[in-house]
Amino acid sequence: MRVEERGQDGGLRLTHTADATYRVETTQSVAGLVDAWYTLRGWVRSSGGQVEASLALGCGGAEARVAVPATVPGYRWIQLAVSAQATDGVCTVSLRSFGAPDSWLSLDGLTLTPGRAALSILGADISSLAKSEDFGGVYKAADGTPGDALQILRDGGLNYARLRVWVDPADGYHDQAEILTMANRLAPLGIKLLVDFHYSDNWADPGKQNKPAAWEGLDVAQLEQAVYDHTFAVCSALAAQGTPADMVQIGNEINAGILWPDGDYNHFDTLAALLTAGSRAVTDASPSTRVMLHIAEGGDNEMARWFFDNLTRRDVPFDLIGLSYYPFWHGSLPELQANLIDLSTRYDKDVLVAEFAYAFTVLDDDGFANIASRNLIVDGYLFTPDGQRRMLRDVMAIVRGVPGGRGLGVFWWDATWTAVPGNGWDTQDPGSGNGWENQALFDYDDVALPALVEYLNP
């Protein structure tokens, strides 16, 4: 253990390191506290590769602990938060390291303040579930007992579900009727609903934002009305049946716009008008529903600023910012947190990870190539059940560390998309495979994976 220069704030930092295997714990106690929740925040950097690297807070009851993920390459600092409830007037802060030779862990800028830091959104996209069940999909709890996938997820801590909506899908799934049915299943379980409007008949993402067939040939004014009418129809129908959406996203991964070519990123005035029409429809149909704008590439702050600067300049109304973060594509954990912190501060918005997933195996279950193949493994996180769980744990910690409680939570994508014949990616080809089954939250025996347990520790 040593004190070094070049701390997060430009001053000194505390570092655990050694040229041989080492095990170090540094502690400090704070007395005179009232019996209440307290939150410890600290800036950390780590080489990774340790058996243990953690920041902990013990206040008389069970100690709370947050793992410190690797922050290299780049050596960027991240902020972590951990909360515990004081029961005897004393809290003890601990920094622990159990490392290999020349590994290191640095700490700076500790604060202990009243209150609790916890994620309020522990979510998953389950858009695949209805079709999976119709084609024979089976889901089992961690002990192997078959059951309702929603109940299994709820028992594991899930409190929010995300469902996509297409305008006129070829296979009849992911439409308004399905959303209404699924909302009626979610409500009795106390699971909140996020509606993900794609404004397409099929997949929409930064690489494709194709108009629904019924909207081809419409001019811009007519497209605005079509967006309004479609959004209003779904949101008002949900409200009418007593299951209003808790959150709605206007478009899916809309970095490059929506409804190409009219609403692409080369036509920001039109894009802003289309998004405004969708947002206005949500508020008109269901005033309590929050509106999110969702982009991909969660670690790219330059792109995110460019996008939201353009939209806020045009007064597009929205409440939340959602980012997709796939660790093998979208930058490092420090880059993700830096982006979340900057966006929440710059635009005065709560932020969340609206899409995230990681693989639990390199193997395939349906003869169709997996998207997350061996060459996408992130250092320190093998494609194993434990690697998947630790990646979710660390992404949750990154979001929880956003100051002011503005990091709301995480949605896993697509938790229930297992390899069920007939439930492939191509809506027009019943024989198409699923390239996502190694990133589901159920394994190849249909059993809930250990990663789900992390939702019990928000």
Active site residues: 253, 355
Contacts of 411 (CB under 8 A, 6+ apart): 121, 123, 124, 125, 160, 162, 194, 352, 353, 354, 355, 356
Q: What's the distance, CA 244 to chain centroid? A: 22
The residue whose two tokens read 């295997």 is: 21
C-alpha closest to that of 118 among 419, 422, 399: 399
Q: How far apart are the first and last CA of the chain?
A: 31
Structure tokens at 75: 């050596």
Residue 220 half-sphere exposure, CB side, CA atoms within 13 Å?
A: 14
Q: Which H or E run includes 388?
A: helix 385-400
DSSP class per residue in 290-319:
EEEEEES-TT-HHHHHHHHHHHHHTT---S
**Helix, strand, coil distribution of the chain in percent, nearest 5:** 30, 25, 45
Best CA proximity match to 27, nearest among 103, 102, 90 = 90
Identity of residue 197: F
